[in-house]
Amino acid sequence: MTDPIVRISGLRKRFGDNEVLRGIDLEIAEGEVVCLIGPSGSGKSTLLRCVNLLEEPTEGAITAAGHDMTGPDADLDLARRDIGMVFQHFNLFSHMTILDNLVVPQQRVCKLPKAEAVAEARRLLAQVGIEGKERAKPAQLSGGQQQRVAIARALAVKPRLMLFDEPTSALDPEIVGEVLAVMKGLAAEGMTMLVVTHEMAFAREVADRVLFLDGGVIVEQGPPAEVLTDPKTERARTFLHRVLHPAD
Amino acid sequence: MDTASEAAPARGRMTARRRRRLVRGVQYAVIAVVVALLAAVADWDRIAQSFLQFDIAADMFPAVWIPFWNTIVYTVLAFVFGMVVGVPIALMRVSTFAPYRWFATAYVEVFRGLPALLVLFLVGFGVPQAFPGIQYPGGVYGQVAIGLGLTSSAYIAESVRAGIQAVPKGQVEASRSLGMSHTRTMVTVVLPQALRIVVPPLTNELVMLTKDSSLVFVLGVTASTMELSKFARNELTDTANATPLLVGGLLYLLLTIPLGLLARRLENREDQR
C-alpha cells in the first residue's frame, strides 16, 4: 500500500486544564472514508480540527495530504488548500454571492483567472445540484442548499482530503438526505474523507472504517458492520444503543 | 376581549385596557398644559424679532452657500482621513503582533481623550512651530483633514475594531481552511463584513464631524475657507440679530438629518440579511 494520506501520532490537545484528546494515533489511506462517532465532548470535532491545524495540538505529530502540519517549517496556507473542510454551520461568506463564494477562493488561493474560476464554480455548483442561485446571497438559501454550496466551495481549491465536521447536524431532518447524497457521490469518486457524524445509516453505508471516540481516545475501530452492529466495548454498545434507540 | 372587559369590573377594578387609556390620557394632558404655559409666558414678538427677521435671513443668501459647501468639504476630508488612518489602527488593535496592539491602543487612547479643539490647535499651530518648514497639503484644508481626522480616526478605529470582532469566527475558519492567509482573510472576508456592521456608527461619526467642523474657525479662516458656524456668527455680529444662527442651524440639520435617515435605512437593510 502507498503512504497514508493522514498520519497522526501521539496527538494530545488540552484546553486549559481540560485534556480533550489524550493520545490519538491514526492513519488514513488514500481514498478511504472514515467516520468519527462518539458522545458529545468525546473530542471528535477537536481531532478533526487538529488535522488542518484549526486547533493547534498540544503534543503529537500530524502529516496530512503530504504536508508536515506540525513541523517547524509547516506552510499551513499551502497545506490547507489540499485539505478541504465543511462545517456544521456552513460558514459561507455571507457578504458574497453564491458564485463568488466559489470564485474568490479560486482566484485568491489558486491564482486562477476569473473566467476559468467561474467556469469551474458553475461546474461544481451543478455537481452539488445548485442551479439558478449564482447571484443569491447565502442567507437566501435553505440550510441544505447552503451546505451543498459549502461542499462545492471546499472542492473549488482542489483538495486531496475532505474533513466534515457534523455537516448535517444543523439541518432539518427532511433535508439531511440531500447533503448526504452529495457526500456519497464524493466518496464514490474516491475522495478521502474524514467525517464527524451522528448519521449512523450514512456511516454504515459509506464508511470504510468507523472510529468510536470517548474521553479523548479511540476506544474502538473497524469496518462499520462490526463497530456499529457488534461493538466489542461496553462504552460503544451503550452509546450506539442510545443513538439508535433514543426513546428507550 | 369583550368577556375579559366584562369580567374584570366584576372584581371592582378597571380593566388593563382602560387603565392604559387613562394613563395615556393623563400624559397627553400634562403635555398640553406645559405647551400652553410656554405659549402664554413667552414673549413671542421678542422671539420673532430676534430669530425670525426674514430680510436678514434673505441677505445671507447666496453668500451662505460658500461656508455651507466648506462645511461639507471639511467634514468629508476629515472623514476620509479618519477612515484611511482608523481602519489600519483597528487592524493593529486586533493584531497578534503585540507592539502593533500597544501602539494602536496608545493612539486610540490619546486621540479619543484629547478634545478635538486641542488637536486642531496642535496641528494648526503646535506642529508648524515645532517644525518650521512644514507645509500642509491644501493649506487650511489639509490642516482640517488632519486636525479633525486624527480625533475622528480614534473613534472610527474603535467602531471598526468592534465590527471586526463581531464577524463570526466561522467566517475566519472557513477562509483559513481554504488556504487563504491571515492577511488575505482580513481583506477579503473580515473587513468587508465588519465595515457593513459598522455603517450605523460610522454614519454617526459623520454627523459628529459635521458639527465638529465648526471648530475650524480657530485656524483663522478667510471668506473663501469659512465654515457655516463662523459665517453665522459673523452675521450675528454684523446684524446684531440672532436670525443668522437659526439659518445656520437649519442648514446643519439639512446635512445631519438626511445622514440620520440614511443610517436608519442602512441599518434596516442589514437587519433583513
Q: Model confidence over A210-240: pLDDT tens digits?
A: 999 999 999 999 999 999 999 999 999 999 9
What is the value of pTM for the model shown? 0.84
C-alpha cell at B154: 480614534
Record: contact A92-B168, CB cut-off 8 A: no
Q: Please report the pLDDT score of residue B264 as a whole number.
A: 83
Record: contact A83-B168, CB cut-off 8 A: no
Nearest to B181 among A77, A83, A94 (CB): A77
Q: Which chain A residue shows the shortest CA-CA distance from B270?
A: A95
Give residue-wise pLDDT tens across range A174-195.
Answer: 999 999 999 999 999 999 999 9
The answer on pLDDT for B1 being more than 50 is no
Give residue-wise pLDDT tens across range A24-68.
Answer: 999 999 999 999 999 988 999 999 999 999 999 999 999 999 999
The answer on pLDDT for B8 being more than 80 is no
Contact between B236 and B244 (Cβ < 8 Å): yes
Cross-strand pairs, A15:
A18
Q: B33 at the A interface (CB within 8 A)?
A: no
Record: contact A153-B189, CB cut-off 8 A: no
The answer on pLDDT for B11 being more than 80 is no
**pLDDT band with cut points at 50, 70 and 90 for residue B65:** very high
Q: Please report the pLDDT score of residue B273 as a whole number.
A: 47
Q: B196 at the A interface (CB within 8 A)?
A: yes
Give residue-wise pLDDT tens across range B78-132.
Answer: 999 999 999 999 999 999 899 999 999 999 999 999 999 999 999 988 888 888 8
Q: Please report the pLDDT score of residue A246 as a whole number.
A: 81
Q: Which chain A residue shows the shortest CA-CA distance from B173?
A: A54
Cβ–Cβ contacts within 10 Å for residue B180, how many?
24
Instruction: Name which of B171, B177, B190 to mutate to probe chain A: the one with the most chain A Cβ atoms within 10 A of its Cβ.
Output: B177
Three-state secondary-structure class, residue B184:
helix
Percent with pLDDT over 70 in chain B: 94
C-alpha cell at A198: 451522528
Q: How far is A154 from chain B (nearest CA, A)?
A: 7
How confident is the model over B138-150, as a mean pLDDT? 91
What's the CA gap between A184 and A203, in Å, rounded?
10
Query: What distance separates the 2 farthest-apart alpha carbons in chain A?
Result: 57
Q: What is the ipTM of this complex?
A: 0.93
